[in-house]
Amino acid sequence: MFHALGRDDWPPFSVEPSCRPVVETIRTSMGKAINYNYLIHEGPGTNAVLIDPSWEKQRILALMDSLSLKLDAILVTHSHPDHIDLAESISDARGCPVIISEEEVRASTFRATNMELCHPFGYRCGRMIIRPILTPGHTAGCMCYEIGGNLFTGDVLFAEGCGLCKDTASAYKMFDSLTKLKQALRPDTKIYPGHSYGQRPGLLFSRILRDNIYLQFRNKEEFASFRMRKHPNPARLFDFK
């Protein structure tokens, strides 16, 4: 059963997850745009959650049906159109809530029929514990979700970089959010971003921590200066694979 948790229901991040769920990676596209959607479950015939569904509705529904999954919730990392494209449509079709942070709702125009503000202490779906982590910077209310040793990052953290920031103040928030993740996550956490520049989703955080330049900065001023620099090849900013 899908239900909200209390503060005392959270095991520490350092503890080995009691449940290692299955992560179905769904690469979707519309024209040149490419996104990664994720369907997380414990096996055929179990309950599931879906993260940031976009564009290829029948394909996503067909995958759920082929595994006889009951969709308990749609988790939205942030409200940019490519991440919420199918949220309301699939929510209506499967009778489940669309969960998004209160901060993101306040800062955006996104609304959905079955929208629910994310519970601060997360949820249980079957044996899976869903931990929301507020990580502003790319948008005011960006949320990452940790589920059984997997972190779903939307546009906060990519294997090769991090999301765009609209101004220096947002870049400072992004630095704080990435620092929060660096302090909280186990090295063996698998990272599943909303986009890829070529690396496969599901890389270990230890590898991304080693190779991602945006995780090397020691202070927010240097980070913001680098994040807000003029990119030498702007076309490559959205050259997702």
pLDDT in tens, 134-165: 999 999 999 999 999 999 999 999 999 999 99
pLDDT of 8 over the 70 cut:
yes
Q: Is 163 exposed, middle or buried (0-12, 13-18, 19+ CB in 10 A)?
A: buried
Per-residue pLDDT, 136: 98
CATH class of 19-238: alpha beta
Average pLDDT of the residues in 184-202: 95
What global pTM score does this model have?
0.95
pLDDT at 240 over 80: no
CA distance 62 to 146: 25
Question: Does residue 234 carry a pLDDT above 80?
Answer: no
For the chain, the first-to-last Cα distance in angstroms comes to 36
As a whole number, the mean pLDDT across the chain is 93
Task: Using pLDDT thresholds of 50, 70 and 90, give the confidence band for residue 203.
Answer: very high
Percent of the chain exceeding pLDDT 90 equals: 85
The continuous run of DSSP H or E covering 63 comes out as: helix 57-66
Q: For residue 212, name the pLDDT band (cuts at 50, 70, 90).
A: very high
Give the burial class of 176: count Cβ atoms within 10 A of its Cβ; 0-12 exposed, 13-18 middle, 19 or more buried: middle
Residue 83 pLDDT exceeds 70 = yes
- Proportion of the chain above pLDDT 70, given as a percent: 97
What pLDDT is attached to residue 55?
93
Q: How confident is the model at residue 235 (pLDDT cuts 50, 70, 90)?
A: low
